[in-house]
Structure 1
Amino acid sequence: MRAVRLRSWGRGPELTEVEQPVPRGAEVLVRVEAAGLCHSDLHVADAAPGALPYRLPFTLGHEVAGHIAGLGPEVAADSPAVGERVVLYGPWGCGTCARCADGRDNYCDRRGDLGWHGAGLGRDGGMADHVLVPSARHLLPIGGLPAEQAAPLSDAGLTSYHAVAGLRHLLHEGTTAVVIGIGGLGHLAVQILRATTQCRVLAVDVREEALALAHRSGALAGTLMQADTARTLTAQSGGPGADAVLDFVGSRSTLELATAVLRPGGELAVVGSAGGHLTVRKPGLLPPGFRLSLPFWGTRPELAEVIALARAGALRVSTQRFPLSAADDAFAQLRRGEVRGRAVLIPD
């Protein structure tokens, strides 16, 4: 079968031929229908040797949807059957700690000792014709949801949902949330905020087309990133500033904007990994009562809730399709910032 493999650090992945895996024990073989591309894939491919605990080579792809093509002999009888359409819960933990047992593999207690972080992150992922899943517990049914919609929900949707969930206690009627970075995750965060809270949603990006996407996703207003953006956002919030900010960029300039626009007691969720940093000092420039979270991916129960939102029509991913054979072009466009919404590879 074909697979997009990372063979060496600091170089792009390669589309190559590998042997199709055979499920053994409790493993499940999934025939891939769609696999999303994420900036995390670029971070992994560009990593310096030794920066990540992963052992090369492996297949990329942690946003995966498809149908079950084979079951190992030890798969439980109540697991999804051959032919059932599923989405893959991507963060794979140890499977035995209390957090994994509770469906929170994203915060596995043994995460630092595993040598992988999940599908396509140290373990073979779904940018391929098939993917081998270690356990049926990582699979959730999607029914008739199109694969190109379902696949990005497993990270872009789930990570956004998890970040919003951590702030939802703040976001009642009359409050304001600011979403910085309206890309594959940000445009879904806008929709999730609209579907699950009563707050007003403001959007920030450096691209006019991204602000148009934010508007289509339900944002009340969109603002270009520039010198007076904090003042503009504060005015749009009704005066006191934002109750919550979700930063899907994480650069020095976006973190500065986030802390400048937050009202006292406000909370910041940093999801993006652009290398920015904050200085925590008291007294200092951070708002009084400021709280910071660094959400990572999401839980398996939350993924079920994301899928339910999508199947109900409350969540729709803006996608740009590429055949698997054009993976190089998809990665190049993602790197240049030319992808609209979420890039999705479709085995052709």
Structure 2
Amino acid sequence: MKAVQYREIGKGPEVVEVDTPEPGPGQIRLKVTAAGLCHSDWFLMDLPADQYAYGLPLTLGHEIAGVADKLGDGVVGIEVGASYAVYGPWGCGVCHACAEGKENYCARAASLGIAPPGLGAPGGMAEYVIVDSARHLLPLGDLDPVQTVSLTDAGLTPYHAIKAAQHKLYPGAFALVLGVGGLGHVGVQIIRAISEATVIAVDVSEDKLALAREVGAHHTVLSGPDAAAQVRELTGGLGADAVFDFVGVQPTIDTARESVAIDGFIHIVGIGGGILPAGFFSTPFGAAVRNPYWGSRSELAEVLDLARTGAVSVHVQQYGFDTAVEAYGRLHHGQVRGRAVVVP
């Protein structure tokens, strides 16, 4: 079968032929219908050899949708031929966090050698993928897998961050979205769908700001040295009650710190490597800083339900295997509007 793999440190992705996997006991094989590209893929491919710990070769792709194709011994509750989305942050399944469906915060996964697909385990950028447990599959039903697959990360990750700050998103509150790319343009929609807050979006690109307005942002600000001052002006000098940084580089983190209101929330979602010093004389009184990771299984179900109502959708650019490497290049250079999806 064809697969998109990272095979050599510093070389980037390649399209290769590999053996079709067989499911073991408790496992499910999916025939992949769509796989999303993510900046997290480039984060690990940009790591130097002494920091890379994901194994080689690695089949990429942690945003996965597919049709159940073959069941291992003991699998129940999964229908061969039915369409599913894959919940990506796999945990041990038995600890306190996993029992609550919060496998994204499993404290035992690393020590047990459990890794998400595409981020350690073989991912879904292939014709077939093995899913380790039925609990990691959510039925898609009539949802289009190509239009929906990115919600498994680009929808779930902002939803988890936004839901945790929902008490700050009351009518009259201001929510600041930094970065209106793959995650941010979904984040704007989620804020509009589950709150009455006023949304301010910031990005370096006029095209991304146009996308922000298309998906519901009330105000847009071009990123730069004056961005925080413009946010303060839009909020009557008070600042944003909740800030969601979907980039995480130092300039956006600095903007977040300078824009947040007293007793506000800053959620650093992007993994751009920036650092935010928190405490007296750095952040406003009462301001909380958090780095949320992915989301829970029940939250993914809620995101898919939002998609079913039409409240949330993803702007998708579609590619085939033959252009997957090109798609990764476009992603790396910030040329993807919304989310890139490979369709086998």
Which TM-score band (shorter chain)?
over 0.9
Say whether the 8 Å CA contact 2:257–2:276 is kept in structure 1: no
Say whether the 8 Å CA contact 1:180–1:247 is kept in structure 2: yes
Counterpart position of 1:273:
271
Gap regions ≥5 residues in structure 2: none
Identify the range of structure 1 (179-188 vs 44-53) with the bigger mean alpha-carbon deviation: 44-53
Counterpart position of 2:6:
6
Q: Which of these residues, 211, 214, 218, is aligned with residue 212 of structure 2?
A: 214
- The letter for the 2-side match of 1:74 is G
Q: What SS does the corresponding residue of 2:110 show, helix, strand or coil?
A: helix
- The letter for the 1-side match of 2:45 is A
Q: Shift of the alpha carbon at 1:265?
A: 0.5
Counterpart position of 1:296:
293
Q: Shift of the alpha carbon at 1:198?
A: 0.9
Gap regions ≥5 residues in structure 1: none
| Correspondence 1:256 to 2:220 | no
Say whether the 8 Å CA contact 1:4–1:59 is kept in structure 2: yes
RMSD: 1.2
Q: Shift of the alpha carbon at 1:47?
A: 1.5
The 3 A distance-change label for structure 1 pair 40 and 116 is farther
TM-score (norm 2): 0.97
Deviations 1:132-170 (A, max 9, x none): 111111000111111112210000000010010111011
Provide the C-alpha distance between the structure 2 equivalents of 1:185 and 1:165, rounded to a whole number of angstroms: 15
Say whether the 8 Å CA contact 1:270–1:295 is kept in structure 2: yes
Counterpart position of 2:27:
27
| Correspondence 1:37 to 2:34 | no
Say whether the 8 Å CA contact 1:5–1:58 is kept in structure 2: yes
Say whether the 8 Å CA contact 1:28–1:135 is kept in structure 2: yes
Q: What SS does the corresponding residue of 2:274 show, helix, strand or coil?
A: coil
The 3 A distance-change label for structure 1 pair 281 and 200 is closer
Q: Shift of the alpha carbon at 1:64?
A: 0.6
- The letter for the 1-side match of 2:298 is P
Provide the C-alpha distance between the structure 2 equivalents of 1:50 and 1:89, rounded to a whole number of angstroms: 29
Q: Which of these residues, 78, 94, 97, is aligned with residue 96 of structure 1?
A: 94
Say whether the 8 Å CA contact 1:156–1:188 is kept in structure 2: yes
- The letter for the 2-side match of 1:66 is G
Say whether the 8 Å CA contact 2:148–2:313 is kept in structure 1: no
Provide the C-alpha distance between the structure 1 equivalents of 2:223 and 2:308, rounded to a whole number of angstroms: 34
Deviations 1:180-201 (A, max 9, x none): 0000000000000000011000
Provide the C-alpha distance between the structure 2 equivalents of 1:306 and 1:279, rounded to a whole number of angstroms: 32
Matching of residues 154-303 of structure 1 within 5 Å: 154-282=152-280, 284-303=281-300
- The letter for the 1-side match of 2:234 is Q
Q: What SS does the corresponding residue of 2:167 show, helix, strand or coil?
A: helix
Provide the C-alpha distance between the structure 2 equivalents of 1:247 and 1:111, rounded to a whole number of angstroms: 26
Q: Shift of the alpha carbon at 1:96?
A: 2.5
Q: Which of these residues, 323, 326, 340, is aligned with residue 323 of structure 2?
A: 326
Paired positions, count:
344
